């Protein structure tokens, strides 16, 4: 059954393989750079086209101006080319004093002549940064140069938009990707929650029948073996523990009730129970700082499950011989820290990030769900935090739990 469970849940719960992640990232980067390259190529083509268009304007102006007197340059320009309605253009004299302009909508809203000229001169300075002006040479009938005019221009609004289009496009795609990832991740977590809740409640249901039978056998043995009452008391304790475990599984998926309790007293009770059931070569000690009067908001049954799980994992890591030390101390921001330290085999740095992953285990037996459930209990039900504080191979591991005080 354990093997079938791992096979059934492995594909769902295992993280995406590293090479597939890099393949997706590489494909996304390729699309991003490809989009930017293609758009920049279009921008360059349009820029060359607009520059060529202005040069044609300038050549036409120069030709017609030298053939006629008192020419309205932009009127001729509009006649020659079907109305430039996109490229901002300013025509100036040889001293760069504005004479006329096109496609500068803001200028039309300025009533004052001085303010208009001032605005146009500022625009000329900005246009210089984009493109050098095009010179129009004025000649008389004897082909003598008697003056110059300059055409200043800048990129059209469309061209300016195209420059930023790939970045806007990528931002939208990235935002959509993030939203999609969050939605899919949320749906995956919901699906996992359903699996956990269903598994837990089914386990509780399956435990109910043998537990009722054990309770009946306990009463029967009490009447049959009156001289073995000490043994039967311990038997009852284990039956009661099974009741607690059944209640724990039943409470998975339900909102647990949190109570302010003395965390040191709760852990002492857990240690007393465990000490008789672990190897006699394992010692468990508890310390509290600055004193034993440290309260935390916990669900006693579920929190005890976490501590028991950490201690049993520690006992397995020590091969039944060593020491476990549980430290309780007040942390910052009103939190309570609980450290569970062992002298076991330790965890290699490459595996620390996987210890809370469903299915991960170093034992020959077990489903690898203990630490996953512990993390769920602490972080989801208690709004706390559990992590590997420190671990060193062949020296031991320390798990830290943060609770709300």
Phi, psi of 282 (to 5 degrees): -110, 130
Instruction: Note whether 397 and 390 are within 8 A (CB).
Output: yes
pLDDT of residue 387: 95
Alpha-carbon span 381 to 171, nearest angstrom: 36
For 214, counting Cβ atoms within 10 Å of its Cβ (0-12 exposed, 13-18 middle, 19+ buried), the class is middle
The distance in angstroms from the start CA to the end CA of the chain is 41
pLDDT of residue 10: 45
Burial code (b: 16+ CB inside 10 Å, e: under 16) for 69-95 equals: eeeebbebbeeeeeebeebbbbbbeee
Instruction: Note whether 229 and 222 are within 8 A (CB).
Output: yes
pLDDT of residue 263: 94
Low-confidence residues in the chain, pLDDT < 70: 1-21, 24-25, 57-58, 60-85, 158, 196, 251-254, 359-360, 362-368
pLDDT of residue 62: 67
Q: Is 366 helix (H, G, I), strand (E, B) or coil?
A: coil
- Per residue in 272-297, pLDDT tens? 988 888 888 999 999 998 888 899 99
pLDDT of residue 144: 82
pLDDT of residue 363: 64
């Amino acid at each position: 059954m354990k093997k079938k469970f791992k096979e059934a849940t492995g594909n769902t719960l295992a993280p995406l393989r590293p090479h597939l992640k890099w393949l997706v990232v590489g494909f996304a980067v390729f699309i991003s750079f490809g989009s930017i390259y293609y758009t920049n190529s279009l921008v360059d083509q349009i820029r060359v086209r607009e520059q060529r268009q202005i040069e044609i304007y300038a050549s036409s102006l120069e030709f017609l101006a030298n053939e006629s007197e008192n020419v309205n340059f932009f009127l001729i320009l509009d006649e020659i080319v079907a109305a430039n309605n996109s490229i901002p253009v300013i025509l100036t004299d040889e001293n760069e004093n504005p004479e006329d302009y096109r496609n500068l909508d803001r200028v039309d809203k300025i009533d004052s002549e001085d303010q208009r000229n001032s605005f146009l001169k500022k625009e000329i300075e900005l246009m210089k940064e984009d493109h050098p002006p095009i010179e129009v040479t004025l000649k008389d009938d004897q082909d003598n140069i008697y003056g110059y005019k300059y055409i200043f221009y800048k990129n059209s609004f469309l061209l300016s938009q195209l420059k930023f289009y790939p970045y806007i496009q990528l931002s939208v795609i990235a935002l959509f990707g993030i939203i999609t990832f969050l939605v899919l991740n949320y749906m995956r977590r919901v699906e996992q929650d359903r699996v956990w809740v269903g598994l837990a409640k089914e386990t509780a249901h399956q435990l109910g029948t043998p537990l009722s039978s054990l309770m009946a056998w306990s009463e029967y043995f009490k009447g049959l073996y009156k001289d073995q009452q000490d043994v039967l008391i311990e038997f009852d304790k284990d039956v009661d523990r099974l009741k607690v475990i059944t209640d724990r599984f039943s409470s998975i998926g339900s909102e647990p009730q949190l109570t302010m309790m003395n965390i040191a007293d709760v852990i002492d009770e857990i240690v007393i129970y465990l000490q008789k059931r672990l190897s006699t070569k394992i010692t468990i000690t508890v310390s509290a700082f600055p004193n034993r009067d440290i309260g935390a908001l916990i669900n006693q049954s579920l929190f005890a499950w976490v501590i028991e799980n950490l201690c049993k994992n520690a006992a397995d890591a020590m091969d039944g011989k060593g020491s476990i030390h549980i430290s309780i101390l007040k942390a910052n921001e009103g939190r309570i820290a609980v450290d569970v330290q062992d002298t076991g085999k330790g965890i290699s740095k490459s595996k620390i990030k996987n210890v809370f992953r469903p299915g991960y285990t170093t034992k020959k037996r077990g489903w690898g769900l203990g630490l996953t459930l512990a993390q769920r209990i602490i972080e989801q039900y208690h709004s706390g935090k559990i992590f590997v504080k420190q671990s060193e191979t062949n020296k031991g591991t320390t798990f830290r739990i943060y609770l709300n005080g």
